[in-house]
Amino acid sequence: MTAAFPALRLRRGRSAPWIRAMLAEHRLHPSDFILPLFVCAGDSCEEPIAALPGVSRWTVDRIGAQAKAAWDLGIPCVALFPNTPGHLRTERAEEALNPDNLICRAVKAVKDACPEIGVLTDVALDPYTAHGHDGLIDQRGCVLNDETSKLLVEQALVQAEAGADIVAPSDMMDGRVGAIRAALESAGKCDTAIMAYAAKYASAFYGPFRDAVGSGGRLKGDKRGYQMDPANGAEAMREVALDLAEGADMVMVKPGLPYLDVLAAVRNRFEVPTFAYQVSGEYAMIEHMAAAGGGERDALILETLLAFKRAGATGVLTYHALDAARLIGG
């Protein structure tokens, strides 16, 4: 039988910093974070992203230094996303299969600058299509599942050959994880891991990201035909189960804070490495709130990241990774 007040006063465990630290159920560490980095064309250039205050696109010759800075702070992995020049965006996303595209060159640059750090690459066609969708479309504008998956397999192989340690299909096509796993094994890339965007919702929080990769203004229609309905939670369990059965090594829930219930349910049911993506809109909310004087920025950063850990996240993709690592280290 649990003791009652006044025999039990829970505030005793909160009375001083040392006892709060000793009794903390969850802790943040720099190794919990993956830092997303945006790559742009050109030389010796940094392009600040207006929709993401404090975040920039970097040219290939500068991306390695950003990865090295992350590694020096204890962050084990970076995730790379390209802003493909407009003239290379086509209906069939041919540039995604170019072994000398922005992402492939960026992977090599990161590995040259910091061989120890892990590199995650996004497997999806939206940074390469003229229409902004994650796959090929037919005359009606409907995204074609099986035809798209064939290209995603080729894209994943190109990225793995460039040196990606983790390929992360974010497209939400059915069956693509199994096809990519089989192709990697056949190509001798058995050590290349797959982090499946298993529960990726059709969210309103992606806007700044689409600006960052240059696909926002191109999007024709929306992505609700293949990304998940925000109303559904049980469906996420089915998506995760399928991706794991097809060979995913890790899974992701995206976005983060609005879907902590899904994150917790996935981790509890499957007990596999489960990541959350604190997406661009979540990041921007914190930055704008702090800039408006509505909250203390450092505290907002750490509290939201701790929420992911409390919900069961193995790790978090976050644009605040550098700031959080410095705060934890300090």
Q: Where in the sequence numbering do the catalytic residues fall?
A: 200, 254
Spatial distance between the Cα atoms of 316 and 277, rounded to a whole number of angstroms: 6
Contacts for 86-91: CB closer than 8 Å, 24+ residues apart: 86/214, 88/128, 89/127, 89/128, 89/129, 89/130, 89/218, 90/128, 90/129, 90/130, 91/129, 91/130, 91/131, 91/136, 91/137
pLDDT confidence of residue 218:
82
Give the DSSP letter string of 279-312. -HHHHHHHHHHHHTTSS-HHHHHHHHHHHHHHHT
* Alpha helices (H) in 138-279, listed in sequence order: 145-162, 176-186, 207-212, 234-245, 260-270
Spatial distance between the Cα atoms of 258 and 235, rounded to a whole number of angstroms: 16
Backbone angles phi, psi at 184, to 5 degrees: -60, -45
The total of other beta-carbon atoms located within 10 Å of residue 43's CB is 8
Amino acid identity of residue 229, one-letter, is: D
Global pTM reads 0.95
As given in the structure block, the two tokens for residue 139 are 């005359």
pLDDT confidence of residue 3:
86
Give Cα 21 to chain centroid, integer Å: 29
29-225+234-329 folds as: TIM Barrel (3.20.20)
Give the DSSP letter string of 95-132. GGG-TTSHHHHHHHHHHHH-TTSEEEEEE-STTTBSS-
Q: What residues contact residue 276 under an 8 Å CB cut-off, 6+ apart?
A: 252, 253, 254, 256, 259, 263, 308, 311, 313, 315, 316, 317
Q: Buried b vs exposed e over 105-136: b needs ≥16 C-beta within 10 Å? A: bbbbbbbebbeebbbbbbbbbbbbbbbbbbbb
Domain residue ranges of the chain, discontinuous segments joined by +: 29-225+234-329
Spatial distance between the Cα atoms of 196 and 199, rounded to a whole number of angstroms: 8
End-to-end CA distance of the chain: 42
The total of other beta-carbon atoms located within 10 Å of residue 40's CB is 24
pLDDT confidence of residue 80:
98
Q: Which residues of the chain have pLDDT under 70?
A: 1, 330
The DSSP bridge pattern shows strands 56-59 and 33-40 to be: parallel
pLDDT confidence of residue 214:
84
